[in-house]
A and B are shown apart, each in its own frame.
Chain A
Amino acid sequence: MNQKILLSGLSLFMALIFMNCASVTKQPKRTTILDPSQEDTLGGTGTSSADIRSMAERMAREISNLAWPENMQRVRIALTTIDNQTRFPINPNVIKDRLLTDLVEFSMGTKIQYTENPAGADHFLSARITSLSKGSSMGVSDYLLYSFKLVGKDDTVVWMKAYETKKQGKTGVMYR
């Protein structure tokens, strides 16, 4: 009888151990909080938060380290348009704001200043997103090209850089 009680107690104890232990890897089922550089499990072949963070950092680091003529006291760059020519409805301000934040951070202590007002600027930074999309009953594939361009007042392209992604997946993911 005593052995039976001991065994039941032990089973209960083991069960409680596994049930009671909290874990940082367990999140409430309704919402999962992710790192913005992490891919979600929903998928999708368009722009992800990880893409925006990566491209903004790359472009900002490039621009903030450009060599400017010695006689230029300061360089005023205006962020103009981000032209989305893809099938994905992306709010261009997500890219613009992330980019401006990084540009300001990485250009601290340099002669570059940023503005959103083109009046008074001597250089203009713009971007265009274009894509090549394929689809079949098997799924979809999207190649996205983000081209960033810095143009002087005389329309000369001073700097240009691209960021590319190619993703393949199933249909059914909606971008809003």
Chain B
Amino acid sequence: MKNLVVISFLLILSSCTPMKRAQTGLARGIAGSSDTRVGGHEVYCSQGEVCSEVEVVAIAMEERDGGKVRVTLKNRTGNTALVQIRLEIKSAQGELLTESRPENFVLPPTQEKTYEMPGIARRGAFVRVILNTAY
């Protein structure tokens, strides 16, 4: 009995991390983050559900420093969609040049809408769009 208690205690100490990893790994496997490319730019969805409901149709960046970035999104559902969008501007080597704050963006049911961020574009860079649930 004494041995069992000692073994149990040791197992508890060592099992938290692998158990949590298994749990979160399972959750990720079900929810599924995704990385896709749209017109030479990147789109990252923290949960696959976000990108299955809201689709990034196009990404455009003005080819000048301080220009605009436009991301066209489509709500594929019949309900109002709320996503949290963040932009990262990266050099061709992958260095982060600038980034925007997360911003809540609402899309009416079934509609396409363009999210625009002024002053963030960098010449020769590419955009990484990060989509999350807003709450």
Q: Which residues of A contact B15 (CB under 8 A)?
A: 17
Q: Which residues of A contact B67 (CB under 8 A)?
A: 65
A39 near B117 (CB under 8 angstroms)?
Answer: no
Q: In this complex, what residue of B is CB-closest to A20?
A: B12
A37 near B8 (CB under 8 angstroms)?
Answer: no
* B1 CB within 8 Å of chain A: yes
* B92 CB within 8 Å of chain A: no
B104 near A54 (CB under 8 angstroms)?
Answer: yes
* A62 CB within 8 Å of chain B: yes
Report B119-135 residues with CB < 8 Å from chain A CB.
119-120, 134-135
A12 near B101 (CB under 8 angstroms)?
Answer: no
Chain A residues touching B, majority SS: helix
Chain B residues touching A, majority SS: mixed
A106 near B103 (CB under 8 angstroms)?
Answer: no
Encoded as 1 (CB less than 8 Å from any A CB) or 0, chain B from 1 to 45 comes to 100110010011001100110000000000000000000000000
State the CA gap A35–B12 with chains docked (Å).
32
Encoded as 1 (CB less than 8 Å from any A CB) or 0, chain B from 65 to 86 comes to 0110000000000000000100
Most buried by A among B15, B67, B104: B104
> Nearest chain A CB to B134's CB is how many angstroms away?
6
Q: Which residues of B contact A22 (CB under 8 A)?
A: 16
Most buried by B among A21, A23, A41: A21
Question: Count of B residues near A, CB < 8 Å?
Answer: 24
State the CA gap A5–B66 with chains docked (Å).
70
Q: Identify A37's interface contact among B12, B66, B101, B117, CB under 8 A.
A: B101
> Nearest chain A CB to B110's CB is how many angstroms away?
18
State the CA gap A45–B19 with chains docked (Å).
41
Report A94-134 residues with CB < 8 Å from chain B CB.
106
Question: Count of A residues near B, CB < 8 Å?
Answer: 26
Residues A17 and B19 in contact in the complex (CB < 8 Å), given A9-B4, A61-B119: yes
Q: Which residues of B contact A5 (CB under 8 A)?
A: 1, 4
* A149 CB within 8 Å of chain B: no
* A58 CB within 8 Å of chain B: yes
Q: Which residues of A contact B100 (CB under 8 A)?
A: 57
B119 near A64 (CB under 8 angstroms)?
Answer: yes
Q: Which residues of B contact A37 (CB under 8 A)?
A: 84, 101-103
**What are 22 A-B contacts defined by CB distance under 8 Å?**
A9-B5, A12-B8, A13-B11, A17-B11, A17-B12, A17-B16, A20-B12, A20-B16, A21-B16, A37-B84, A37-B102, A41-B135, A50-B103, A50-B104, A54-B104, A57-B100, A57-B101, A58-B117, A61-B119, A64-B66, A65-B66, A106-B119
Q: Which 5 A-B pairs have the closest CB atoms?
A: A61-B119, A65-B66, A65-B119, A13-B8, A37-B102
